[in-house]
Amino acid sequence: MMNKLNKFEEMRGISYDDVNKLEKAEESYGNSWKQRGGVGAFMMLARKWDRIENQVKSLSYDIFKAIEKDSRPEGILDDIRDLRRYLLLVEQHMLEEMKVERRKKK
């Protein structure tokens, strides 16, 4: 079993990799993920969630079993990574929007 320090170090590595992948994706796709506004961004998240849900249904929603069963590079872990990265994009976008709004109020 992984000790607590190693677990959080691994999470830092995952986060760092996410940011690197997002930077690279933005070079190709720009901000296409938000071009249809908040509803479009939500629907993009929903599609990723739907893909994950479809993969766990047959396993009584046991996501751990689904991950063990599907080790393909484009499998369920890839969908989990995509969803996490899109969530990061949404959070960062809204944090930036809130900063802009606070500056306007000053």
Q: In angstroms, rounded to a whole number, what is the distance separating the alpha carbons of residues 48 and 86?
A: 9
DSSP structural state of residue 106: -
Domain that holds residue 71: 32-105
Query: Does 63 map to a domain?
Result: yes
**Amino acid 12: pLDDT:** 96
Query: Does 87 map to a domain?
Result: yes
**What is the number of structural domains in the chain?**
1
Question: Region 46-74: what's the mean pLDDT?
Answer: 96
Q: How confident is the model at residue 2 (pLDDT cuts 50, 70, 90)?
A: low
Q: How does the average pLDDT of the chain come out, rounded?
A: 94
Q: How confident is the model at residue 104 (pLDDT cuts 50, 70, 90)?
A: confident
Query: Does 47 map to a domain?
Result: yes
Query: Does 14 map to a domain?
Result: no
Query: Does 53 map to a domain?
Result: yes
Question: Region 1-28: what's the mean pLDDT?
Answer: 91
Query: Does 74 map to a domain?
Result: yes
pLDDT digits (tens, 9 = 90+) for 68-99: 999 899 999 999 999 999 999 999 999 999 99
Query: Does 7 map to a domain?
Result: no
